[in-house]
Amino acid sequence: MKRRDVVLAALAAGLGLATLLYHGPGRWFFRGHVGDVAATMFVLAVLGVTRWTLRTRALVTLGIATAIELGQNVWSGGLILGSVFDPWDLAAYLVGVIIGVTYHLAHDVPLPDARPLR
């Protein structure tokens, strides 16, 4: 797992925690959708332990999230898996993956060689 995956996982965990602790206006939105964004960012980061390409990790993350969302009609998970299918969650999952991929691509740019000043 690379450092950027650890940082992304920490950012996602912090965002997820913030959604749980937030009790202000629009709580339903933050808890429901921003929490889903954070969850997919976290899964994408954790999949950094594999040797998969970023594309494969993104597709697997979307697959896991979609399976969970579609499975909510069958499973009952409450806080962890949710209990009601919401098509907007699928959009939130996609946003989370896009943010995670964008983060990776932005941090994959090689920096120019540092040269000492003379």
**Structural domain contains residue 114:** no
Over residues 66-104, the pLDDT tens digits come to 998 887 766 655 545 556 778 899 999 999 999 999 999
**Structural domain contains residue 115:** no
Q: Provide the token pair at 66.
A: 């979609």
C-alpha gyration radius of the chain: 17
Neighbours of 35 (CB within 10 A): 21
pTM score over 0.85: no
**Structural domain contains residue 113:** no
**Structural domain contains residue 117:** no
Q: The domain containing residue 39 runs over which residues?
A: 3-106
Over residues 4-60, the pLDDT tens digits come to 999 999 999 999 999 999 999 999 888 889 999 999 999 999 999 999 999 999 999
**Structural domain contains residue 46:** yes
Q: SS3 for 82?
A: strand
How many distinct structural domains can be found in the chain? 1
Q: Provide the token pair at 74.
A: 């069958």
Under 8 Å between Cβ of 81 and 68: yes
